């Protein structure tokens, strides 16, 4: 772990332990919101909060080698509150595309874990929905495949945009792609915004 990541760029304060995010998924199932992690995964948070001045900052490396777990504070499990509370600050920070893409995927997954991937979930607040939609629209900029964009539009409830993207999908001769397209279409026709899962190969 680079010592540089432990020093707050705003106040110069030293952070003894960096937040480490713990993820879980069931039986290696893949999800339409790109949730396809191993049964148990721990990764350093790309956004860290300074314990001295309280400001959020981004670590310099997107891949961090964990040599000593005593150097990290485990956040287990990763909750939506962790991401939503830092979202406004995060949006103002300078970051490269790799960091931004990965962090926004984690925000998407955390929202769906909290409000959509479980039975009888709580109802998100208006602010939470705003953060979810804003994050998804930014995340969509990293995708060019209309099938990916269709799924993202579906999850934020923009079904007409979803159908437009599906019309541009070329699935000729690809049964797997056709099946995925049909699932998105059927969910959208039902007004369903929840992610769906399937068994990883």
pLDDT digits (tens, 9 = 90+) for 178-191: 999 999 999 999 99
DSSP letter for 13, please: -
pLDDT band at 66 (very low <50, low <70, confident <90, very high): very low
Structure-model confidence comparison of residues 117 and 191, the more confident one = 191
pLDDT band at 68 (very low <50, low <70, confident <90, very high): very low
Q: What does the alpha-carbon distance between residue 200 and residue 109 come to, in Å, rounded to a whole number?
A: 17
Tell which phi-psi region holds residue 191, choosing left (phi > 0), alpha (psi between -120 and 50) or beta.
Answer: left
The whole-chain average pLDDT of the chain stands at 81
CA distances from 129 to 111, 126, 136, 163, 181 (A): 9, 5, 10, 22, 25
pTM of the model: 0.72
Asked whether the predicted pLDDT for residue 31 surpasses 80, the reply is no
Question: Would you state the pLDDT for residue 98?
Answer: 75
Structure-model confidence comparison of residues 36 and 146, the more confident one = 146
Averaged pLDDT for residues 133-143: 95
Asked whether the predicted pLDDT for residue 38 surpasses 80, the reply is no
Asked whether the predicted pLDDT for residue 16 surpasses 90, the reply is no
CA 188, chain centre distance (Å) = 21
pLDDT band at 75 (very low <50, low <70, confident <90, very high): very low
Task: For residue 30, give the 3-state DSSP assignment.
Answer: strand
Question: Is the distance from CB of 186 to CB of 154 less than 8 angstroms?
Answer: no
Strand partners, 20: 44, 74
Question: 41-64, pLDDT tens digit by residue?
Answer: 566 777 888 999 998 888 765 444
Asked whether the predicted pLDDT for residue 74 surpasses 50, the reply is no
Q: What does the alpha-carbon distance between residue 77 and residue 40 come to, in Å, rounded to a whole number?
A: 11
Asked whether the predicted pLDDT for residue 34 surpasses 60, the reply is yes
Window from 9-13, 86-90, 141-145 with minimum mean pLDDT:
86-90
pLDDT band at 193 (very low <50, low <70, confident <90, very high): very high
Averaged pLDDT for residues 5-29: 76
Q: What is the DSSP string of 86-119?
A: THHHHHHS---HHHHHHHHHHHHHHHHHHHTSSS
């Amino acid at each position: 772990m680079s010592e540089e990541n432990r020093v707050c760029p705003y106040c110069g304060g030293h952070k003894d332990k960096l937040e480490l995010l713990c993820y879980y998924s069931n039986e290696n199932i893949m999800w339409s919101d790109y949730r396809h992690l191993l049964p148990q995964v721990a990764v350093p948070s790309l956004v860290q909060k300074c314990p001295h001045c309280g400001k959020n900052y981004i670590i310099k490396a997107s891949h961090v080698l964990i040599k000593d777990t005593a150097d990290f504070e485990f956040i287990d499990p990763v909750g939506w509150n962790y991401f939503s509370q830092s979202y406004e600050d995060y949006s103002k920070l300078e970051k490269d595309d790799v960091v931004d893409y990965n962090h926004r995927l984690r925000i998407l997954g955390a929202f769906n874990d909290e409000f959509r991937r479980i039975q009888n979930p709580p109802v998100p607040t208006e602010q939470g929905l705003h953060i979810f939609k804003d994050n998804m629209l930014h995340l969509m900029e990293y995708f060019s495949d209309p099938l990916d964009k269709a799924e993202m539009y579906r999850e934020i409830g923009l079904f007409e945009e979803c159908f437009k993207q599906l019309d541009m999908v070329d699935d000729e001769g690809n049964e797997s792609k056709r099946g995925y397209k049909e699932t998105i279409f059927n969910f959208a026709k039902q007004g369903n915004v929840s992610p769906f899962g399937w068994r990883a190969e």
